Structure 1
């Protein structure tokens, strides 16, 4: 029993000894765990004061004050909490944090996931300043001396990274780089929500005019943020201010497996330009304005080089821009750019496409660039649903419609000024392509309207009230330096076009209407069809103090077909032509406006003055020189044997079927280079020319003219002429009726040798030309035709010579008419041929021969009164009417004068149609030796002499009337005084 008991007693002891090591281990573990807990607890308790003490001491060394209401670090779960943290320097805050909370979940860490369940920063303020050698950020000085090497390293690293990024790798290769070969998975970051609110960063730059920038973050919220390697996804909301500029963003970002999907729910930027000026050079800082941008869209990357951008709405506004930078000063009210429903995509094979609707507007621009100034009230551009595609090197653009509007545009520089009240331009169905071979093709329809346009070049001004043009189906192809173009229809309408110089109108057109059905151009070849062109209310050269040179009611051109070698026109019709040809003393057009000379104005003026002086001295307003200027000499054709086809092969040919001029047209000629001034008007009732063909030298043009000169004179021309033959060939009939001749006397004075005092002319001219040889006949009828004498002396009275102009009177029939038939012939190729001499010399010879023969036989019985002598063959017939001489102071007829007066009475009796003009003449010898007269005033002397001269003329008339001559056949001239020393008292007679 004892042994059993002993055995029983020993067993518990064995068990006790077996359990003792385990109990010790448990105790050790328990103690270690307790120690660890106590240690961590101690650390947890120590961290806030230690951190506070350390940071206080650290910032104290930086001469800064640090304070914090709460610094907390938790381990279960891991989290950090900061509250009311502040760093200050001399009562200025450099760092302030209202609150910071960061909490990490522990369990996901075992799955290599950092799950930040709480992340919040509120009320962060950081002040940073830059000096020449260091940055001070939140009270911490960061030297810049050692930054160069790091910058170089960073630059080289960035260049390497850029090269790596510029060579995109396949996703599998990049994943292989990111995921090691051991198959370990990259860490994953998950943040359900991150908030960064009410924070501000101030950056003071001592190197840049002590500028301080402020970056204020109202809120930055990131939700559902997930990141693993390069994969990122999440929602971002940001509201940030930079100085006074604001950026607001709401977006969803997904970048998974190298495929990006970024949704921009909204992006709003409101920027003040002045907030960014200090980043620019000083000379570009005088800028101000506001930029406002609003954006919505989606950006997708569907491959390494494939992407899609969808932008439902993009609005960009620039407001109140003011700039005063080198070479430019500008003021701008607003610029608005709106892009809607736009899409941009790029495929893996490089195909690029872009579509959308673009709207642009501009208000109140005033800009000056050097000496160029631009102003406009408004500008609007609408591009509807454009589509741009690029495949390889081929590019295509299609736009259903483009509309441009502009109001009050002005451009000005030192020499040019352009203004336009409004422009409205529309392009429809625009298609433009650039092929692989660089061939450009363009097709569109165009409609435009311009109102109140003007262009000024120095003193030259061009104004246009309204211009509108429409082009349908315009097609342009440019290839190999050749341009091909064609249109289906072109219409132009223009209202009141006017070109002026100072106060003079050079040209003006009231209305232009053009209808161009087709136009084709290919290199140097072109083809055009003009259905209708009408210009109305045309004025040319309308000077301030003179009537316009030309006025035309309308010019109409119908049915034109033109190619590069020739053109064919159905008709040209002019209505209401009013031409005023005003010639000055030098036979220069008074009312011809000229363009102002750009250079050498003084030289031109001096040359013009010299020319005028020489012209004045050469043209003493004499009949001979004036007539000479009308001569038109024709040089002989030296190439008479040239083939017509060779001559015209390189010339542009024109064929006109009909030309007409009608509707109250006239030409006024005022010539001040002759005495008296010519003022004549030719009214054109009808002028037509048919079948004009410059290509065919043998073509015959028919010309028909019906005109009037004054109320009663008529002109009728009917001619067939070959205008493009090498030598003049024509058949013509000209009939002129009741033309008053005196106005044209100065022009024919040289040919006839005498002035025309009076007379009417009827002429029937049949003139033919065969290869330059003229042949024809002129039938002339002169009514009341009187030729006057020449002024060959400065004496008041020329007596004693009776020229041919008096003798011509004897040719008149009982009705006072002269009728002549004159043959005409000549060679226009003769260098001495002159049209004036060709027409007038035969008339002169016919008149001379007939009158000379008659006078020689008629006036011999009256030798005491009339003497006749022929001088220089047929050139001068000297007919002298002897005066009735008186003695000094004699006023009445004496018996010794009866013989002369009886022959004069017989002459007038034999010639009952003759009339005589008696001009009494007194001389200085009539004053005698009377003291009363010799000492009298000149006015009294003239009164006496004029009375005596008048008494002598009346005495002659009384004598003839007493002999039975009718008093109405004798005319008494105004008394005259001859002051020559050898002058004799007399009565001069003129028949």
Structure 2
């Protein structure tokens, strides 16, 4: 009978459990509930449930294909709840957290504040209960989690947990997970020791292409339109000790790909970003959860960036920024931040955010073996930049190399060398005379006024003084470029084109803290194969006022290509010519003291613009082509000295006027001086017939002397006329006017008596009653000079005889005045 009772009891238990469960489910929010089978064995400690289907009042549906649990009943005697096996298959469960947590359609009551249970002395001495599980298996399970602004779906293809026992805390449990999170493949393999005195977790986690778009609402309002993918392939190790604190380490890869979104502050449109960490991270926290140490070793790669900053009108792109090295941070130390490694950038580009017009680009950047100790000391042995361009084709730089760079306290920067190679600049002037790159600049949004753009001029901290300027020291600064400058000027006819090759521009001992120091300067350039330009000396480029002491040489410059500019400046076109100049420049605090020695060869000018010629002549006072012709030697060479003096700070004088006046004065003075030189030893009394503001039209030479009564010049005069003839042969544009005279003594038979003739009160001798003989004598003297010069090869048409003159003066001698 008892056996029948027991049989009936054990038979009724599963049925009772099933019906009680269904009744409870329907009384707690389930519209529909079905359980296909329940199997309970109290002696064996097993429970199995199959075919659970639930439909809640809020529309939620849940299902469970199979659930089974097997308890080790004998362990209950030792206060151990030991689950030998727990198996879940085909679970489809949803959970939602709004105001309260709802799981599978069941709304859980809000928890009241927990109160510590009252433990009596006797209870505290009792042996505690333990719990453990030998094996947990979950398969073909789908869990949906919904919290405000975020939905997550976890699919568990296979989950296993083994050997998790609280009574054996040192034993590590094993957790293996294979599944997906929001359809992204997920693999987890961990060794756990949650009950140990030093809690530990270690193992590997793999999550592939996890979509970030579901987190859009979470990221708002700071980030909108979030998108991208997260991939994790790493090993982690976590240890927490009550006395020593917590350590966390990571080894492996973390990456973000195709990340995009809009950062509302500062208003950046992130179009694409790839970020990958490959390496090790180690973090230590004290018992109060405060970080005490951080160390990293590995590579952080920003493989791609495409971001727009509309407020600044900029769009930034690159194909790789990589940090490869180690980093450590110890907050307790003053200089606890330290780093060492390499930094590289590949294919960086800045363009206009609206038009995408290229502003600047960089092919490659590499900083080798960076060493940093805090922000106080940063050392970089070598920095290399390749393929730099700005507003192409305006400017490009092949390479920049910086050696032995050091930055101290973010205020003092020094470097051994700064070498800039393969510099190329292209300048084009349009027909209106405007540089075309200004048109490009004006088309850029970045250069337009924008009220939303932050101001870069106000760098003063609130309530503080402006930051001190960065102190810079560079031992050697050098620039070179075979295609340094290509100039095209379409504002002149014909179009002007010129290329400049910069062989070397070198500046030594740069120090911004010593602006009054003289810096050695060397410059070597070529305008073509034979046209050269060089400068040596010292400058003070950092001084408040310009100061320099330089020697410059420009050699073999072809002038014909500069003809359009000569026409604009002087009113003349240059048919042929070249020049070489040697200059000494002394500039002291803006005061110019410059000496130029110019040599012009085969210079031929043609008048082109009369108005400009007239303006230049106001300063020159002599026709430019005549003045230059005077200066030419037998080889067609002109040597000219042009000193330039003035103060560039004088508001009434500009540098152009200083140079123009100095040039005009030099040409005039040199022309007259050169004539005097050609007439030596007879040119000592050379004078110009000039009045203020008038053009020079005559040059007075030394007079030709005569013996009394003679019609032919004296011996010295004859030699002098040969020199004049030689000058006129060299300068065929010159004409000669002869102005001869006669004096009373010329026809007096007794000169001694003449000397005793009483003079008038004015000091002049009394004039003879008949001047005809004297006038004839003067005319004969002039004709004789014309005849002598004609015999020397001077065309008679170039020799003009002026009206003869008779002078009654004791101081006058018989002579002929010559005027060119």
1:75 aligns with 2:2: yes
Which is worse superposed, 717-726 or 831-840? 831-840
Q: What is the Cα deviation at residue 529 of structure 1?
A: 0.9
Which residue number corresponds to residue 100 of structure 1?
11
* TM-score, structure 1 as length reference: 0.54
Does the Cα contact within 8 Å between 1:777 and 1:824 map onto a contact in 2? Answer: yes
CA 1:215–1:208 in 2, change beyond 3 Å: closer, same or farther? same
Q: What is the Cα deviation at residue 668 of structure 1?
A: 1.8
Match of 1:597 among 442, 445, 458: 445
1:554 aligns with 2:380: no
Which residue number corresponds to residue 160 of structure 2?
295
Which residue number corresponds to residue 569 of structure 1?
415
* TM-score, structure 2 as length reference: 0.64
CA 1:361–1:385 in 2, change beyond 3 Å: closer, same or farther? closer
Q: What is the Cα deviation at residue 792 of structure 1?
A: 5.8
- Tell me, what secondary structure is at the counterpart of 2:135? strand
- Counterpart Cα distance in 1 of 2:566 and 2:519: 30
Larger Rg: 1
Could you list the per-position Cα deviations for residues 710-743 of structure 1 after superposition, in whole angstroms to 9, with x for gaps in the alignment?
Answer: 3321111111223334544432111111223355
Could you list the per-position Cα deviations for residues 673-716 of structure 1 after superposition, in whole angstroms to 9, with x for gaps in the alignment?
Answer: 55554422211122222222222234321111111113321111
1:223-262 correspondence runs (5 A): 223-224=72-73, 227=76, 232-233=81-82, 235-239=84-88, 241-242=90-91, 257-262=127-132
1:769-808 correspondence runs (5 A): 769-789=587-607, 791=609, 804-808=623-627
- Counterpart Cα distance in 1 of 2:582 and 2:212: 72
CA 1:827–1:386 in 2, change beyond 3 Å: closer, same or farther? same
Which is worse superposed, 768-777 or 699-708? 768-777
Does the Cα contact within 8 Å between 1:660 and 1:686 map onto a contact in 2? Answer: yes
- Tell me, what secondary structure is at the counterpart of 1:842? helix
Which residue number corresponds to residue 579 of structure 1?
425
1:60-139 correspondence runs (5 A): 74-75=1-2, 78-81=5-8, 100=11
Match of 1:839 among 643, 659, 664: 659
Q: What is the Cα deviation at residue 577 of structure 1?
A: 1.3
Which residue number corresponds to residue 12 of structure 1?
none
- Counterpart Cα distance in 2 of 1:213 and 1:471: 51
Q: What is the Cα deviation at residue 563 of structure 1?
A: 0.9
1:427 aligns with 2:279: yes
Could you list the per-position Cα deviations for residues 765-822 of structure 1 after superposition, in whole angstroms to 9, with x for gaps in the alignment?
Answer: 012234544334211112233445464689xxxxxxx982432343222222221123
Does the Cα contact within 8 Å between 2:87 and 2:138 map onto a contact in 1? Answer: no
- Counterpart Cα distance in 1 of 2:540 and 2:162: 77
Which residue number corresponds to residue 43 of structure 2?
192
- Counterpart Cα distance in 2 of 1:450 and 1:486: 21
Does the Cα contact within 8 Å between 1:299 and 1:308 map onto a contact in 2? Answer: no
Q: What is the Cα deviation at residue 339 of structure 1?
A: 3.5
- Tell me, what secondary structure is at the counterpart of 2:629? helix
1:820 aligns with 2:640: yes
- Counterpart Cα distance in 2 of 1:531 and 1:697: 27
Does the Cα contact within 8 Å between 1:231 and 1:257 map onto a contact in 2? Answer: no
Does the Cα contact within 8 Å between 1:127 and 1:202 map onto a contact in 2? Answer: no
Does the Cα contact within 8 Å between 1:380 and 1:405 map onto a contact in 2? Answer: yes
1:167-186 correspondence runs (5 A): none
Which residue number corresponds to residue 497 of structure 1?
348
1:469 aligns with 2:302: no
Q: What is the Cα deviation at residue 450 of structure 1?
A: 4.5
Q: What is the Cα deviation at residue 558 of structure 1?
A: 0.6
Q: What is the Cα deviation at residue 133 of structure 1?
A: 11
- Counterpart Cα distance in 2 of 1:267 and 1:293: 7
Q: What is the Cα deviation at residue 237 of structure 1?
A: 4.0
Which residue number corresponds to residue 535 of structure 2?
717
Could you list the per-position Cα deviations for residues 123-166 of structure 1 after superposition, in whole angstroms to 9, with x for gaps in the alignment?
Answer: 97975598899989999xxxxxxxxxxxxxxxxxxxxxxxxxxx
Which residue number corresponds to residue 797 of structure 1?
none
Does the Cα contact within 8 Å between 1:260 and 1:301 map onto a contact in 2? Answer: yes
Could you list the per-position Cα deviations for residues 940-975 of structure 1 after superposition, in whole angstroms to 9, with x for gaps in the alignment?
Answer: xxxxxxxxxxxxxxxxxxxxxxxxx9xxxxxxxxxx
Which residue number corresponds to residue 551 of structure 2?
733
Which residue number corresponds to residue 179 of structure 2?
317
CA 1:679–1:729 in 2, change beyond 3 Å: closer, same or farther? same
Does the Cα contact within 8 Å between 1:510 and 1:538 map onto a contact in 2? Answer: yes
Q: What is the Cα deviation at residue 505 of structure 1?
A: 2.7
Q: What is the Cα deviation at residue 551 of structure 1?
A: 1.9
Which residue number corresponds to residue 541 of structure 1?
391
Which residue number corresponds to residue 184 of structure 2?
334
- Tell me, what secondary structure is at the counterpart of 2:424? strand
- Tell me, what secondary structure is at the counterpart of 2:657? helix
Question: How many residues get paired?
Answer: 626
Provide structure 2 residue ranges, at least 5 long, that are not aligned to the other structure.
35-40, 95-125, 218-222, 453-465, 613-620, 679-687, 699-724, 734-793, 795-820
Which residue number corresponds to residue 456 of structure 2?
none
Q: What is the Cα deviation at residue 763 of structure 1?
A: 0.8
CA 1:730–1:311 in 2, change beyond 3 Å: closer, same or farther? same
- Tell me, what secondary structure is at the counterpart of 2:374? strand
1:689 aligns with 2:616: no
- Tell me, what secondary structure is at the counterpart of 1:81? helix
